[in-house]
Amino acid sequence: MPTETDVIIIGAGAAGLSAAKELTRTGLTYTLVEGSHRIGGRAYSEEIAPGVWFDLGCAWLVGGADNPFAAIADGLGITLCKDKGHLFETVNHRFQRNGAPLTQQQRVACLRYYDGSNTAIANAARQDRDVAISEVIDLENEYAPPLCGSIGTSWGLDVDCVSTADFVSAVGELGFPVLHGYGNLVAAWGTDVAVSLNTCVERVDWSDAGVTVDTPKGTIRGRVALCTVSTGILASGEIRFTPGLPEWKAEAISNLPMGTENKMGVCFDSDVFGTDGRGHYTTWNGNGNMAKVHACVMGLNTAAIFVGGGHGVWLEKQGQQACHDFAVDRVADIFGNDVRKHVSRSIVTAWSTEPWTRGSWACAQPGQAFQRANLARPVDERLFFAGEATVYGGQGTCHGAYQSGIRAAREIAEQLNVEQ
């Protein structure tokens, strides 16, 4: 691990990796350190069956063909399910209540409520009313439970904690999945980046000229540092800054807390979905159990079950068996109890307690959407910041993190007077 460098990059997720590649292009040197045993951050694929991969983190190339990882995948010869993207569009979304699909009339009413709620949220944002979503939608509507649950999975916090302005600024449909895992795609793209793994950052000292970073493997000195870790890690105090970060930066961090979306992958020993069953579902019932379910459109005998916000955190605390049971129950809600005897394996995430992130992604508090710009601002022209939390439009996404790393690297090159 080099101990003298131009730029010290903290965190080898998509932002740190893209920054490293961009810095190399400009001719600047870097030392990239990562606390965990692997690269990719919240992009991580795990084998759920031989040759079958489940994405514990990001799973869809949001925005489809416009996502920069689409071109990266094509260049690496990695298979994308571009012909399946339409199955994740609202028009093809399937709703299941109390174990039965909505009738056509109910579906029309449900989508009308969704459209009206989205319009109310957008109107509030346009009027500069950056308030909680719960303040502008009808929570008494019979279709409020699936909408609120969907917002919980999409943002990681409940509707009383999600900013209307932050919600409206996010852009892009789900796009399409990666056959062998989005996490594996990111890992393959990042293999040419030099990274010191299992290297936790304990302290960032910017009290003198340049920046000094202390790790268990030694001290690194650089002209500047780029921090790409989550706001969950920044807020935890696990990385000590000397002197402490200025108040405006600390406020940005605290007002962009991490939300939680937990996912459960269930693998079956046969096709339990049927010829027309594969797709994207929202299922809910009267006892409060709501989830999104992706019955694999790629032909795999797997389902991904999503639950977020307070319910997601609560379920995580109940343990892996409770999460497994919840996931199988939700698949059974849609496809019948016979699926239970075909379950072969499951994978369960626990993002709120994941030690390297402390959550899934950053979600602006009501009235605080502007803080993403403050989080992105450098401190004293020596401490730079990147990651999905610094992004408008691509917040919470892998490609948003990727783009933020490039943005930060270019800011650093300009600061260090390097021609680009």
Domains annotated on the chain, with CATH = 4-39+193-257+359-415 (3.50.50.60), 90-172+261-353 (3.90.660.10)
DSSP class of residue 191 equals T
Query: Distance between CA 15 and CA 403 in Å, rounded?
Result: 7
Rounded Cα distance between 349 and 178, Å, is 19
- Distance in angstroms (rounded) separating the CA atoms of residues 110 and 114: 6
The torsion angles phi and psi of 365, rounded to 5 degrees, stand at -65, 150
pLDDT band at 110 (very low <50, low <70, confident <90, very high): very high
> Rg (Cα) of the chain, in Å, rounded?
22
Is-contact 361 388, C-beta < 8 A? yes
Average pLDDT over residues 127-147: 97
* Pairing, β 261-268 against β 343-348: antiparallel
Distance, in Å, from the CA atom of 183 to the CA atom of 354, rounded to the nearest integer, reads 16
The per-residue pLDDT for 243 is: 98
CB 344 within 8 A of CB 265: no
Q: What is the pLDDT of residue 333?
A: 96
Closest CA to 68 of 306, 391, 372, 360: 391
Residue 46's SS3 state is strand
Cβ contact 81:298 at 8 Å: yes
Q: Can you tell me the mean pLDDT for 151-172?
A: 96
Q: Are 257 and 365 in contact (CB under 8 A)?
A: yes
Determine phi and psi for 395, rounding to 5 degrees: -60, 145
Angle between helices 68-76 and 398-415 (to 10 degrees): 100
- Band the pLDDT of 90: cuts 50, 70, 90: confident
- What is the DSSP-derived secondary structure letter of residue 140? T
pLDDT at 193: 98
Please compute the mean of the pLDDT values over residues 318-336 and round it to a whole number.
Answer: 97
Quote the CA–CA distance of 133 and 122 in Å, as a whole number. 10
Is the Cα dihedral 224, 228, 234, 236 positive or negative? Answer: negative
Counting Cα atoms < 13 Å in the Cβ hemisphere of 120 gives: 15
Residue 286 pLDDT > 90, yes or no? no
Helix (H) or strand (E) holding 344: strand 343-348
What number is the average pLDDT over the span 202-207? 98
**19-54 as b/e: b if 16+ CB within 10 A:** bbbbbeebebebbbbbbbeebbbbbbbeebbeebbb
DSSP code at position 342: G
State residue 255's pLDDT score: 98
Can you read off the two tokens belonging to residue 187?
Answer: 């890992």
Task: Tell me which DSSP letter residue 365 carries.
Answer: P
Its pTM stands at: 0.96
